[in-house]
Chain A
Amino acid sequence: MPITASFDHETALVACARGDAQAFRDLYDHEGRFLLGVAIRIVRQREAAEDVLHDAFVQIWQKAASFDARLGSGRGWIYTVVRHAALNHLRRTQREISTEDGALEVLLDAAVPVDASDDLDTGSLERCLGLLDEPRRRSIVHAYVDGYNHAQIAARMQAPLGTVKSWIRRGLLSLRECLS
């Protein structure tokens, strides 16, 4: 595995809050391709995903001063801004996501892609996800990765809405315990 200096997201965000455009550019260069991948998976359209990434990065620049390093990592904060921008896009457009697309299911279960410059540790989370019952794990993955809401997960997994809600809630609480 190549040695890469790990990127300091917190320092970059503090610099953005000061108006440091270079730090903002560095952040984009480091995370842009991962975040465009996250966005396109949720909104399913290239152009919409680019719009989401644009809006999210403008927000990151604007909101950098409100990032609170005591509450969590800079990277976690940035990914939430992008994911929520993508989810808001879906809510605005109310576009129906096809749950018939078998190709995406293949992607869902694919191994985590290897990227030489990726310094994000996914090991503990993957291990804890592996300990969940399959329906709970799949519900959480569909929600996070595909941006599915309760109803879409219920349709996809052919389960009652209440059951899906319970899978997610209990799955999350188990994950929390496993990761603590």
Chain B
Amino acid sequence: MSFADDPDERRAQAGEYVLGTLDGETLAEFETALAIDADLRAEVGAWQDRLLGLARRAPPLVPPPALWARIATSIGGAEARPASALASATPSPPSAATPTSTPPAPIFAPASAPTPTRPPAAPRWWQRLGFWQGASAVAALAVLALATLLVLRPPAVEAPHYLALLQAPGGAEVGWVVEARAGGSLRLVPLAPALGGTPLPAGRALQFWTKPEGAAGPTSLGLVAAGTALTLPVSGLPALGERQLFEITLEPVGGSTLGRPTGPVLYVGRAVRL
């Protein structure tokens, strides 16, 4: 990044990011840097608090009761968290009710994302155009950056090689990277302070899942420790291919007892072939 070596430029850009005046390429570059630069995230966090008092220049306005009802419906009623993106393997039928679910997203194509079994009253996060547009733009840039690094290495093996960036739903933050080589091993590497940040809620664990494109359901790849890399033999996966879904969900200690994700999705992404 052009501002990497100029502390004032980093500070000012972090402030402008919070302010909302970064746009276009500058914004995209900044968000890519944010995904891999913990100090920059700290600066953004500090700016969020520094400028917060300005929010009180806008006079409060009491929301109508119907607004809470809409929000409660969208998050799946009173208690149920939105189901995991992997929880239902039902292929998404063409539906006039979710016209925004097919953005041109090269990496995360929601057209093939599963649909929840109950009819949603409002689009789920993975059906929302804004999320996928934002996520795919950031992911595309990050993939480009990582792919460049990988390409610069001498090609040791010719086996197909895959990469997936796991992002927080609705956010630009890349938390984990999955790298796998056919016939070799899969590595899951933490990037962000990956849930790293907040301590895990008591009685909860992180579980790693995968669902190959077209597979009937997700397969658990085991529990992972926050901020800790994991290496697995690819032979333990149901398959390995392009657009394969990987995700990390919050589950009870010991993992989901139902053989499928039950908790909220913390990070999710699809594999691209390098």
A-B contacts, CB under 8 A, total: 222
The answer for the CA separation of A124 and B54 in the assembled complex, in Å, is: 11
Cross-chain contact B21 with A38 (CB below 8 angstroms): no
Main secondary structure of the interface of A (DSSP, over half): helix
Contacts of A79 in B (CB 8 A): 48, 52, 55
* Interchain nearest-CB distance for B225 vs A (Å): 16
Contacts of B18 in A (CB 8 A): 80
Contacts of B79 in A (CB 8 A): 19, 21
Cross-chain contact A40 with B48 (CB below 8 angstroms): no
Would you call A1 an interface residue if the criterion is a C-beta within 8 Å of the partner chain's C-beta atoms?
Answer: no
Q: Which of B230-262 contact A (CB under 8 A)?
A: 250
Cross-chain contact B62 with A33 (CB below 8 angstroms): yes
* Interchain nearest-CB distance for B82 vs A (Å): 7
Q: In the complex, how many residues of chain B place their beta carbon closer than 8 angstroms to a beta carbon of chain A?
A: 66
Q: Which of B63, B122, B125 contacts A33 (CB 8 A)?
A: B63
Q: What is the interface residue range for chain A against chain B?
A: 35 or more
Interface mask (A2-25 → B, CB under 8 Å = 1, otherwise 0)? 000000000000100111010011
Cross-chain contact A71 with B60 (CB below 8 angstroms): no
Binds A, one of B86-94, B150-158, B167-175, B212-220: B167-175
A interface residues, Cβ below 8 angstroms from B: 14, 17-19, 21, 24-25, 28, 32-34, 36-38, 40-41, 49-50, 53-55, 57-59, 61-63, 65-73, 75-77, 79-80, 83-84, 87-88, 91-92, 107-108, 110, 112-113, 115, 118, 120-126, 129, 140-141, 143-145, 147, 149-150, 168-169, 172-173, 175-176, 179
B interface residues, Cβ below 8 angstroms from A: 8, 11-12, 15-16, 18-21, 23, 41-42, 44-64, 67-68, 70-72, 74-75, 78-79, 81-82, 122, 125, 128, 130, 134, 168-171, 173, 175, 193, 195-198, 201, 204, 250, 263-264, 266
